[in-house]
Amino acid sequence: MHNPLPVAVFGISGRMGRALIEAIEESGDTVLAGACASAQSPWRGRSVQELGARSRVLVAAGPEGALEGASVAIDFSLPEATLGNVRACVVRGLPMVIGTTGHASDTLAAIEQASKTVPIVMAPNMSLGVNLLLKLVELTARLLDEAYDIEVFEAHHRNKKDAPSGTALALGRAAARGRGASLEELAEHDRHGSHVPRRKGAIGFSVFRGGDVVGDHTVTFAGIGERIELTHRASDRLAFARGAIRAAHWLVGQRPGLYSMQDVLGLGTLAW
């Protein structure tokens, strides 16, 4: 029997951090080896047992203190914290799974640079269902021409800050890729005050924020006389947490590089 994989979690006290604790506890082949929270968090210095973990490690104030004894790190912190977390992993030569979204362009560039030194999985959504949806959206966009308008709708809880969500943007990129274009060419984010018809070939985005919605995403292909809707609804953050743990296990032993959940799940090699 293999020893459990020791994992460090950045952002342990947040919604996804707590879901990761639950997923780690149920996995049987993973153990929480370290954790950290933001400098302002009241959880700093307290045991992760208070958050429901069997582990006795204390919540560190920064990434360096969380990485002792870990073989891989999972980041579900805040976008502004990711860069420091990445740098700490590079110093220790540890692979890293990044599920945080809403990063600035300079942070994305730094992540790409860091992936030349350590293997990194970065994905806006870690669930198996969403990654299958990405493939289906790309295939559908490839088969249907511009006579079918594309609209991406997403709904999340009232506290989510980035909009559209990282997953919605990934779905838009998948649709654009299917059409042989970039999302920047086709995206349509703001229609307020517009007095012109929908631009042919545009990929529109609609955003809902409210209540405690975990995450709903629908991509609609609207033609004349028919409409195709591809939908994923998340009812429990455990789906994302389980995917992140799967990614962590896959990542250990990989060569440096920037990977996606498509790589983890082998979806990039599927023929459609």
Is 160 designated active site? Answer: yes
For residue 182, give every residue at least 6 positions away whose Cβ sits within 8 Å of its Cβ, in sequence order, or none. 173, 176
What are 85's two structure tokens?
């977390």
What are 251's two structure tokens?
């990542």
What are 181's two structure tokens?
């274009």
Bridge partner residues of 246 (DSSP): none
Give the whole-angstrom CA distance, residue 260 versus residue 121: 5
Is 156 designated active site? Answer: yes
Give the whole-angstrom CA distance, residue 249 versus residue 170: 23
Give the whole-angstrom CA distance, residue 100 versus residue 83: 11
Select which of 2, 116, 160, 161 is catalytic: 160
Strand order from edge to edge, sheet including 72-75: 59-60, 30-36, 5-10, 72-75, 96-98, 119-122, 257-259
Select which of 116, 135, 156, 232 is catalytic: 156
Which residues belong to the active site?
Answer: 156, 160
